[in-house]
Structure 1
Amino acid sequence: MSFQYDMSDFSEVLVSENAIGRKLDEMSAAIRADYEGKDLLLVGVLKGAVMVMADLARRMPPSVQMDWMAVSSYGSGTKSSGVVRILKDLDADLTGRHVLIVEDIIDTGVTLSWLLGNLRSRGAASVEIAALLRKPAAAVVDVPVRYIGFDIPPDFVVGYGLDFAENYRTLPFVAVLKPEVYER
């Protein structure tokens, strides 16, 4: 079943559904090789990472476990506030486990830098990051990312889990949202 999208809110599609699938295949192959025989826990960062996490996890061995955390530095706007809040904490104990944070996008790096420090302090054997998208031009904090899908320009993007005011998450691609849509 295919759904036709109204493309009038977008200036361009940055990353197609097919390109996302191919990149997740590449990333998952590297992750499987790097963590073979290790106790790997995927930690998805809600809500944006839902699509990436689901599609990446389906490419992992059945022994890989998942947990979810919700942190926020955005509020309802389009720019990070810089203040990180935990909205939902992990259920799993990280002691001695290899943790792979799965993110939809790295923007300023502020939230992810804070999250890395927080999870490392919980006794994990290792904490690494896999992100589908990264905006190098928007970086305020340099965050070491082990697995990266695509570097993109600093435009405001939606789709494949990314939203504006909780809309557009279900798009199977990543698109640039026209400024007139979010400046209304």
Structure 2
Amino acid sequence: MVLRWTASNPVAMVIDANWPESAECLYTRNELERALDRLSREIGDRLTGPEPLLVLTVMHGGLVTAGHLLPRLSMPLETDYVHASRYGHRMDGDDQLRWLHRPATPLAGRRILIVDDILDQGLTLKGLVEACRAQGALSIHTAALVQKRLPDPPAVEADFVGLTVPDRFVFGFGMDYQGLWRNAPGLYAVPESDGGH
């Protein structure tokens, strides 16, 4: 059976051989949109300034978050992206940061906002902050759509967090499950027996 979501029925999901069996919806699209509204207000209150803000989107996961967040910000800004990963298509990370693209925009003297999809152990985000600092950024702030509730604090805290999730593998709204389902219109968790990080 295949059940497809549509604009009029955004909760309905595609169920097929690639969809993780018994995936649990943690947040609906409406709940994610409300979190993005709050994030945009918090960012606007703290980061509005005379110089344009440079937003660095962390690919690929941060693409959907940035795409929904940036139109909500009523300030002049520029955009660039960075692609650094600890996961690939695997479900468990390692400590090695893999750089696939560094920002093309010079960072010296810039106010920077790094936008990512999820903050778990914070090792990727910490590496990005350190790279921006090494290039002479004036200020560096970070935003994550979701943060995992872990027993130990992350290597770096995000300045802006939309929602929290349990310590399970989550996907949807930019986050993938085995390379798929970044386009799922909510945030889902795979069964704990199916792995996690």
Note whether the superposition's TM-score is higher than 0.5. yes
- Partners of 1:109 and 1:139 within 8 A in 2: no
Contact 2:66–2:115 (Cα < 8 Å) also in 1: yes
Q: Do 2:147 and 2:163's aligned partners in 1 also have CA atoms closer than 8 Å?
A: yes
Decide which of 106, 131, 148 is 1:93's aligned counterpart.
Answer: 106
1:44 aligns with 2:57: yes
Q: Is the 8 A contact 2:169 2:195 kept in 1?
A: no
Give the 5 Å matches for 1:97-176.
97-137=110-150, 139=152, 141-176=154-189
Deviation at 1:10, TM superposition (A): 3.9
- Report the alpha carbon displacement of residue 140 of structure 1 after superposing the two structures with TM: 6.5
- Distance across 2 between alignment mates of 1:47 and 1:11: 22
Instruction: Report the count of equivalent residues.
Output: 183
What residue is the counterpart of 1:35 in the other structure? Answer: 47
Deviations 1:128-152 (A, max 9, x none): 1100111131656431211011111
Secondary structure of 1:21's aligned partner = helix
Q: Secondary structure in 2 aligned to 1:102?
A: strand
Worse-matched range after superposition: 46-55 or 61-70: 61-70
Structure 1 residue aligned with 2:67: 54
Cα 1:82–1:64 change in 2 (3 A) is same
- TM normalised by structure 2 equals 0.85
**1:76-119 alpha-carbon deviations (Å, 9 max, x no partner):** 31111110011011111111111111010012211111111111
Give the direction of change, closer, same or farther, for the CA distance of 1:137–1:180 in structure 2 (3 Å limit).
closer
SS in 2 for 1:70: strand
Partner of 2:30: 18
* Unpaired runs of at least 5, structure 1: none
Aligned residue for 2:3? Answer: none
8 Å contact from structure 1 (residues 10, 175) kept in 2: no
- Any unmatched runs of 5+ in structure 2? 1-5
**Percentage of pairs with the same residue:** 28
- CA positional deviation for 1:39: 2.5
**Any runs of at least 4 consecutive aligned residues in structure 1 with deviations exceeding 6 A, and if so which?**
none
